Structure 1
Amino acid sequence: MSDATLSMDTRAAGTGAQGRPVAFRGGGFAPRPRRWVGVVVFVLLILIAEWGTRAGWISALTLPKPSDVFGTFQELYASGMLFKHLGPSLARLAVGALIGVSVGVSVGVLIGLFSYIRAGMVPLVAALFPIPKIALLPLFVIWFGIGEGSKYALIAFGTFTPTVVATYGAVDNVDRTLIRMGQSFGLSWWSIVRKIVLPGAMPGILSGLRISLAIAIILLVAAEMLGAEFGIGAYILQAGSLYDLERLFAGVVILSLLGVIVSGAIGMIERRVLGWRT
């Protein structure tokens, strides 16, 4: 192929059908932040629910007006009961999730690195993973009592198994070419793990962490519905028993906001830890 032909092909690739320059697509599928879109979606859903309940085509027995839920939330805040319920829930979530995630990441990394640990632990994790964790709550109450120990244990166990699966899967997906490159440069085993394997597995670990913490919030509510005087789960259970939909939905909104905050916190960690991907 002649130089003139190559030059013509290059010019054709750089222009569109009408001779316009083609935009550079080097960014691939890199997402751009559009935070306002999520806010607009939430606002539209709230406005539709408010309009539907006021117009009467949404029954007040099935869905309270969002304005009434907001008023109940304000009363909960003004009376101080919001923090009285939220404080114990956050403490239980933090302790249980910290135990489950830290142990899960550690075991997952060991499974990914050592063949004997993989051979022994993967069948055990596969047997534990499909068990509904809520079904084990009575067993944890027998083992750890009706107090805080059973709640910590349930949340920790519920976050442990998905974290293990996500972690050793992320370690397995690290590019083997990078590992061989590190070996060719004479890096030690520990240097390869610290500088190649763990950074390469971090995106998968953080993605699994989103799922694990969402499961932790679900298990938190289930644990607090059994033998807890204060907590978001106990508050929702009390409101449901009284058929107080405004209080019930206020508790649901608190859980939803908690999930959004947790997801946002993980997103901040991803931007800080995974800045090398940009």
Structure 2
Amino acid sequence: MTEPRQTITNRVAFLEQRIPKYASVLGITGLLLLWEIICRLNIVPPLFLPAPSAILTDAWEMIATGELFKNLFASLYRVGIGYALGAVLGIVIGLILGFSRWTDAIVTPIVYSIYPIPKIALLPLIILWLGIGEMPKVTIIALGVFFPVVINTFSGVKNVDPILIKAAVTFGSSHANVIRKVILPGSLPMIFAGLKLAAGTSLLLLVSAEMIAAQQGIGAMVLHYGNLMITTKLMVGVLLLSLLGLLFNRGLQWLENKLLPWK
């Protein structure tokens, strides 16, 4: 028995309904208000969970002294270079693996065997190779970004509909045009999925590397204030990392919407 037309219409309307842009803001605001109430009622001691208002006060003080920006810029420099290097190399190698069967057969097993290794475990070895400085931290971030991007790019190329490729070839498209107009656009959703996944990984590796081998940066700042048990300033660093992760995700989502309007 078929469903009533009105029921089907209601289901379609439910699936197509638009969520207001302020919905995500309401979620974050509600969480912060609940956090503030819990702290004001002393349900959790301030040493273990400082109130958002106290964190904001210390954040303003750190901005006024320049400490926050100094550590922020150091971290942005490292993660920016490391992310760009890892993403570019990952996309290029992923496309090559997807196009070439020989390269796929030789290189793909190597990629999948190295991928599960925790990249931060390689930091002492990379410091031994590259010395103490910015290069080991940038390299470890680039490695962490490279693997999810190359795997997603490779999968995106392999999942392009072969019928579209055959149709383009049938209508006389050159090999370069097939890559540029069929394969690359078809693999972009998977490439962006890898870029978003790599954004979170890059921040995790950034903090870990800065805690081990850095004097400046958000990770070093969090470790410093953790050792001193100054949890308000420690939470400034944690919330700053959370904000960076949100901005990275929103920026990649905006770029994806521009490059993939059909999605």
TM-score by structure 2 length? 0.94
For 1:33 and 1:120, how far apart are their aligned partners in 2?
Answer: 46
Which has the larger share of helix? Answer: 2
- Identify the residue that residue 144 of structure 1 maps to in structure 2: 130
Q: 1:81 aligns with which of 43, 48, 67?
A: 67
For 1:86 and 1:111, how far apart are their aligned partners in 2?
Answer: 36
- Identify the residue that residue 83 of structure 2 maps to in structure 1: 97
For 2:18 and 2:78, how far apart are their aligned partners in 1?
Answer: 35
Tell me: CA distance 1:224–1:123, structure 2 relative to 1, closer, same or farther (3 Å): same
For 1:259 and 1:230, how far apart are their aligned partners in 2?
Answer: 19
**How many Å apart are 1:34 and its aligned residue?**
3.3
Q: 2:6 aligns with which of 12, 16, 22?
A: 16
**1:35-114 to 2 correspondence within 5 Å?**
35-114=21-100
For 1:30 and 1:108, how far apart are their aligned partners in 2?
Answer: 34
Structure 1 position 276 matched with structure 2 position 258: no
For 2:102 and 2:15, how far apart are their aligned partners in 1?
Answer: 38
The structure with more radius of gyration: 1
For 1:156 and 1:30, how far apart are their aligned partners in 2?
Answer: 39
**1:221-260 to 2 correspondence within 5 Å?**
221-260=207-246
Q: Deviations over 1:170-229 (max 9, x none)?
A: 111111111111111111111111000000100110011001111011111111112322
Tell me: CA distance 1:240–1:24, structure 2 relative to 1, closer, same or farther (3 Å): closer
For 1:106 and 1:22, how far apart are their aligned partners in 2?
Answer: 45
Q: Deviations over 1:133-183 (max 9, x none)?
A: 111111111111110010111011111111111110111111111111111
TM-score by structure 1 length? 0.89
**How many Å apart are 1:31 and its aligned residue?**
7.8
Moved >6 Å (runs of 4+):
none
For 1:31 and 1:110, how far apart are their aligned partners in 2?
Answer: 40
Q: Deviations over 1:234-267 (max 9, x none)?
A: 1011011101100111000110000011001101
- What residue identity is the alignment partner of 1:148? E
Q: How many residues align?
A: 263
Query: What residue ranges of structure 1 are gaps of 5+ in the alignment?
Result: 1-11
**Local SS of the residue matching 2:62:** helix
For 1:31 and 1:268, how far apart are their aligned partners in 2?
Answer: 20
Q: 1:182 aligns with which of 163, 168, 172?
A: 168
Q: Deviations over 1:82-132 (max 9, x none)?
A: 111111110111111111110011000111111001001110001110000
